[in-house]
Amino acid sequence: MQLEVGVAAPVGPSLRRKEEPERVVHASGPHAIVFLRPASLALAAAAAAALAVYFLPVWVGLLAFGLAALALVPDVLTRWCVRYDITDKRVVIKVGWLWQRTLETTLNRVGAISVEQSLLGRVLGYGDVFLMLPGVGKELLPRMRAPHEFRRKLVEQILCWDREPSPQPYAVGRPRRRRPLPVADYAC
């Protein structure tokens, strides 16, 4: 195929840079420990309702139990509507149901990652994860299930992301020298 001067060259699918679809590597959310406070409140209300049958009208006991069950609603919504995802390109934090707050950042912008666990958190497998993000500051991911697994997957994806070639399809000049990666075998 011969190209003429002044005529635009056809750009076919072979000349375009193909974007691979983003895949979720790890998904997490709050631990079931978020139900501890309202469940203990519901248990206390059930005990009060059982005692109220002997001393007060039945409707008082049912009302106490209904209010305690109503206390479960915010924590159920918290468990269902909070999501922490790690993809092969980004970290996505979604919080909320009616009013949703979404925080997305590329892997190269994640600074420090720290995990805090209490003794109960270590036994039950939950903890708080802190991410340092430029422009946002310290982002808290509270009571996350398997926080060390989340941290390990995030570090693994950051290392794999750093290993991928430059996003420029046609680099000019010498190829840049990459620093050696740790010996650990990461599934990139």
Q: pLDDT, tens digit, for every residue of 129-185?
A: 999 988 888 888 888 999 999 999 999 988 887 665 555 554 455 555 555 555 555
pLDDT of 50-62, one tens digit each?
777 677 777 777 7
Domain-located, residue 18: no
Q: What is the 3-state secondary structure (H, E, C) of 17-56?
A: CCCCCCCEEEEECECHHHHHHHHHHHHHHHHHHHHHHHHC
Report which residue type is found at 34. Answer: V
Q: Which domain holds residue 61?
A: 24-162
**Measured CA distances, 38 to 47, 65, 71, 141 (Å):** 14, 11, 6, 20
Domain-located, residue 75: yes
Q: What distance in Å separates the CA atoms of residue 161 and residue 88, rounded to the nearest whole number?
A: 7
Total domains in the chain come to: 1
Q: Is the pLDDT of residue 8 over 50?
A: no
Domain-located, residue 122: yes
Report which residue type is found at 77. Answer: L
Q: What distance in Å separates the CA atoms of residue 31 and residue 20, rounded to the nearest whole number?
A: 32
Domain-located, residue 168: no
pLDDT of 13-51, one tens digit each?
544 455 678 888 888 988 888 777 777 777 777 777 777
Question: CATH no. for residue 141?
Answer: 2.30.29.30
* Mean pLDDT, rounded, for 8-17: 47
pTM score? 0.67
